[in-house]
Amino acid sequence: MAKIVGVEATEFSYPVADLGIDAEGFARVYAPGTTTVMTNWIIAIETEDGARGEYAAQMAGKKVNLAQVLRLAPNLIGRDADHRELIYDDFKRALQAVAHVGVGPIDICLWDLLGKRLNVSVSTLLGGYRTRLPVYASAMHGDRNGGLSGPERVLAFAEQCAALGYRGFKFRGWSDGDAKETIATIRALGGALGGKLDLMIDPGGDLRTFADALRVGRACDEMEFFWYEDPLRDCGTSQAVHRKLRQMIRTPLLITEHVRGVEPKADWIVAEATDFVRADPEFDLGITGAMKIAHLSEAFGLDVELHGCGPAHRACMSAIRNTNYYELGLVGPTVGNFISPPVYACGYSDALDAVQPGGYVPVPTGPGLGVVYDWEFIRKNTTAVHRFSKQDK
């Protein structure tokens, strides 16, 4: 038994230059002269034999998600760290009213713990056979400040990514949901880079009407986009509207980023409301949950595309046949990947320049997730520490 005796969640912060908030008040965008202090956290789980698993959140690094982790952490004390399936099942039920996101980082940390105890990589534990992963650049939200501020600017950044070696490029558009500007960008990208890069679009729920979503989808058809992701303000939760959209356009839809876990994804597949299936080790109840979704998709003959980036994502993708691309983002022409915290002391990177010749990123091969965290940096920038042990249970 690998008895869990301690859990620790450490909050930290780091500044990102030229990053601000758009007019809608939520999306991070290029803002020259503005410095944003990003907050994040790292979880560590220890067993009585002295082993320690660690995981620094990326997309799930918001405090609202940390609150879920802190809700679950006391329940880990005294459990067998190898009982990941049971922990997955119990914690899924515990967070049934709050979207399950807190389960993911805990599960990822348990996989890192197992790999370190056995001195093998998580990729190896999953049956991974890929040593490098084809990658696309996933652009940050468009802005009005001279960064990704129009079709020409987006095209220039896509051409920059192509020159770096990326095999695909995805843009997001603007929070005001201007369909005409989005369509102009689609045509600019397709006209210049169609056939050179796989092109994708993720409006992120910005488009305001079904008519706008349909117009944008038909522009994607015209330019032969690889996929069309989360167009509408249903926030990617309505099977009915996406099934209708599928019936009227040719470009494959990639939905289900905003529904959590294997069961809802199955409903979307059966309803024929998406073409590709989204999974995320952080959002979909961990590596355990993401692999369930990959196998579900495989059973239906569909491809699964992992959302976001990070060492857990690379480990999962290394063991999945039915998948196409690693998403490296969010990135811009002048702003670094502000989602990925600067906490690695081993050379691991999800920065824009991390792409290798041929358009790949490597799969870490060291024990656990294969990364070493820079605890000197984390402690220097710590804002709060939450510890749980036997007396807290």
Q: What percent of the chain has pLDDT over 90?
A: 97
pLDDT of residue 392: 60
pTM, to two decimals: 0.97
Domain 4-119+375-392, CATH homologous superfamily name and number: Enolase-like, N-terminal domain (3.30.390.10)
pLDDT of 393 over the 60 cut: no
Average pLDDT score over residue span 124-129: 98
Q: Where in the chain is the domain with CATH 3.20.20.120?
A: 125-362
CA 138 to chain centre: 10
Q: Who's near 244: CB < 8 A, 6+ residues apart? A: 210
pLDDT of residue 391: 65
Per-residue pLDDT tens for 307-355? 999 999 999 999 999 999 999 999 999 998 999 999 999 999 999 999 9
d(CA 143, CA 290): 32
Q: What are phi and psi of 130, to 5 degrees?
A: -85, 135
> Two tokens at 392?
């807290």
d(CA 251, CA 225): 6
Closest CA to 254 of 282, 223, 227, 279: 227
Determine the residue type at 310.
G
DSSP string of 17-59, one letter each residue: EEEEE-TTSSSEEEEEEEEEEEEEEEEEEEETTS-EEEEE-ST
At the topology level of CATH, where does 125-362 sit? TIM Barrel (3.20.20)
Coil vs helix vs strand at 115: helix
Q: Where in the chain is the domain with CATH 3.30.390.10?
A: 4-119+375-392
pLDDT of 191 over the 70 cut: yes
Helix ranges (H only) for 300-344 are 311-318
pLDDT of residue 207: 97
